[in-house]
Amino acid sequence: MDLRRILLVLLVIAVVLSCSFFLLNFDDSVHYNRVGLTNTSSIEVPVSDESTNTVVNGGIHLINDTKHDLIVMYFNSEEGNQVAAVELEYIRNEFAANSVQETLGNQTIWHNEENDTYMAFIGNYVTHDNILIICKDPEILEHMIASARYNYFNEETNTTETFNDSNQSAVNTTTNSSGTTTLDSTGTGQSGSSSNVPEGYYWSGQDADYIREYDDANGIHHIDRLHGNNESIDTQNDKHWTNGVEDTEAYHQDFN
């Protein structure tokens, strides 16, 4: 083999090694790992060495992944308390109020065009799981929504409900060939609906909790519940009432 052929072979080897090194060290594809959230739910999240999991605000778990600009907040309404339910609902409503409603993977999401972030508020009303995801990458969000799994009566289901004001999602029970009971989302009807709900109330996404929200002439925000305590919140003067009784100090203690 002459010198020219030897140099050509060495050049080809060098190119192959360089490409292999680049692919191994500069792979920007997202890899996922399934993590358990509550006792009845799990989801796939991006593998990250810049992620933390803490408990905040009355039992809400918070995953903060700065590498992927991802926040996951979750709790189970049977295990958590009312403060967690109100806080998670408030975060959802605040984000949705400044966002455009879109559809991603057959689920309703909200897109904040100002900071280019996306939010999904999903869960399963059979297991009482509530999951709020905020992310900048819609592909990551879509993957996570599709990966959500819920367990009840030792069975597993991938039915994910979008919790929003209209809750336009129905659930049918089916049995697959292996005899496992699953839930299929049909996208029609109203999840958690009731013919006895007064006008102006809507399902909050928490069990059978129907609420009505409004601001009075003094700027105080009211949350009236058909089943549970009513709340009044004065954000200007930093005051809180439960069933007409001021409990501002206790309310703030719950959030610390």
Inside any domain, residue 153: yes
**What is the extent of the structural domain holding 51?**
32-166
In sequence order, the 6+-apart residues with CB closer than 8 A to the CB of 158 are 146, 148, 149, 150, 182
Which residues are 256's β-sheet partners?
Answer: none
Query: What percent of the chain is predicted at pLDDT more than 90?
Result: 28
- Alpha-carbon span 49 to 67, nearest angstrom: 8
Inside any domain, residue 207: no
Q: Is the pTM of this model over 0.75?
A: no
Inside any domain, residue 83: yes
Inside any domain, residue 150: yes
Give 80 or 114, the one with higher predicted confidence. 114
Inside any domain, residue 9: no
Inside any domain, residue 239: no
Inside any domain, residue 240: no
Give 117 or 227, the one with higher predicted confidence. 117
How many structural domains comprise the chain?
1
Does residue 48 contact residue 63 with C-beta atoms inside 8 Å?
no
- pLDDT of 200-247, one tens digit each? 777 665 555 678 888 888 889 888 887 778 889 998 888 888 888 888
Inside any domain, residue 22: no
